[in-house]
A and B are shown apart, each in its own frame.
Chain A
Amino acid sequence: MSGQYKIGIFVGIVLGIVIYFVTIWLLPVLGKLKWVFT
């Protein structure tokens, strides 16, 4: 396992957590904007 792969995993985990929580946080806002898509 190369150094770049390990760094990639680390960055990925951090990004994955951040993106997930940002999405959850944004869900109610997105829910209110559903009229845009309908």
Chain B
Amino acid sequence: MTTEEDKQGVSRRDFVKGLAVGGAAGAIGAMGIYSYGPWRKRHFGKVTSKNIDIGECKSVKITNISETSWFDNKVLMGDIKGSGGLLVNQYTYNWPPFADVKGQLGKGSYENGIKHIKQFLPDKLDKAWEFQKENAIHPENAGGYACLIDVELLDGSRKKILLDSGWAYDWMDECFKREGIDKMVSKKEIDYFIISHEHFDHFWGLPVTLKYNPEIPMFVPEGLYQEGFQYIKDSGYRGKLTVTKPGLTPLFPGCALYTFAIPIICRVYGEQSLYFNVHGAGLVSVTGCCHQGIIQFAETARRTIKFEKLHGVYGGLHISPFEDWDPKYDDLVIAFKNWGFEKVGCNHCTGIVTAKKFIEAGYPVVKGTARFRSKDIAYLGNGDTIEFKAA
């Protein structure tokens, strides 16, 4: 049967079929064009940054006083495992300077340790350390972490920050004298004495700084344990102690402290790090051990502070502190690229293995000189310096 339409060579059915296929194709195509076109942006809400303006400084120069917190990984890990593992209270290890008489591994306490040296603090540190040499577990393995941060402000004035005070009294005193820190502290040239966290290798060398100025303005993170506060008292501290709350604490134009409320191995809680906004260069992050993790450290800056770009980082990045390696650390090395740091001054608990992987990956790692018992030129060693300023 032939219809009138067929006779005229016109098919309404074909037209409707085409209309349906074409309509669907046209709508889907339009969706695609719209989704990738600039018009889509009219649906986006306007985002305004709530980040805090910490101001700007002109330059930041960091002198590595000591990054060798301990000298033998095997000895350190052996002691920690022998004491019961990484979650055990660090004051029970019978490590210096809290050794009891003929201290046994894992059987110590703050009270039993401090009673033998309290009368020597902070002036007669030689005597206090003599006792440790005779009674503590592996006193020869103790080193310490500390650095001097010299900041030039936009008006040309300077601020000096001492970050941490190391561990072994004899080693830290030697390092302080080598870098002239003893004289700076004595002359009250240090504006801020900041303890990054309570770990033995950053905090237990406290009397070495207090020997030169027991009134130095001191900052500790909230989360310090009772033993920590007692040690500050027992070390003869007489100055103004500031306990920083979790979050941002601006110190002076271009500089702020950030306290991370985090649990850390060896029964420690809380760590604070520093951010500097360097004019024309970008944000410089300075850390003691970075137990918060480099990702959280960089992400917090991005979320909290107003700055142009991430420029540099200095300190321990806590990736392979015991020079072991795990495939998951490779992810951190890869992720590190995303932050676009232009100058990397890593050392301490970053691990030499990690520093070498950074170099292999082509990151701008500033190499060191491997002097004063630092083991490798792959990172900034003891006595090395790094400066962050506008090019």
- Would A17 and B26 be within 8 Å (CB), given that A4-B10, A24-B34 are in contact? yes
Interface residues, chain A, with chain B CB atoms under 8 Å away:
2-17, 19-21, 24
Q: Which of B15, B16, B25, B31 counts the most A-chain CB atoms under 10 A from its CB?
A: B15
List the 8 shortest-distance A-B pairs measured between CB atoms, nearest first.
Answer: A8-B18, A12-B22, A16-B26, A9-B22, A13-B26, A12-B23, A20-B30, A16-B27
Interface residues, chain B, with chain A CB atoms under 8 Å away:
9-12, 14-31, 34
Q: Which of B10, B11, B18 counts the most A-chain CB atoms under 10 A from its CB?
A: B18
Interface contact A15-B26, CB-CB below 8 Å: yes
> Once the chains are docked, how many angstroms separate the CA of A36 from the CA of B164?
65
> Once the chains are docked, how many angstroms separate the CA of A14 from the CA of B16?
14
Closest residue on chain B to residue A11 by CB atoms: B19
Interface contact B15-A10, CB-CB below 8 Å: no
Q: Which of A7, A15, A24 contacts B23 (CB 8 A)?
A: A15
Q: Which residues of B contact A11 (CB under 8 A)?
A: 18-19, 22
Describe A's contact surface by its main secondary structure. Answer: helix
Q: Which residues of A contact B11 (CB under 8 A)?
A: 2, 4-5
> Once the chains are docked, how many angstroms separate the CA of A12 from the CA of B21?
7
Closest residue on chain A to residue B31 by CB atoms: A20
Interface contact B21-A9, CB-CB below 8 Å: yes
Q: Which of B9, B17, B24 contacts A16 (CB 8 A)?
A: B24
Q: Which of B14, B30, B31 contacts A5 (CB 8 A)?
A: B14
Interface contact A8-B29, CB-CB below 8 Å: no
Interface contact B17-A13, CB-CB below 8 Å: no
Interface contact B14-A13, CB-CB below 8 Å: no
Q: Which of A2, A10, A12, A17 contacts B30 (CB 8 A)?
A: A17
Q: Which residues of A contact B21 (CB under 8 A)?
A: 8-9, 12
Closest residue on chain B to residue A12 by CB atoms: B22
Q: Which residues of B contact A14 (CB under 8 A)?
A: 22, 26
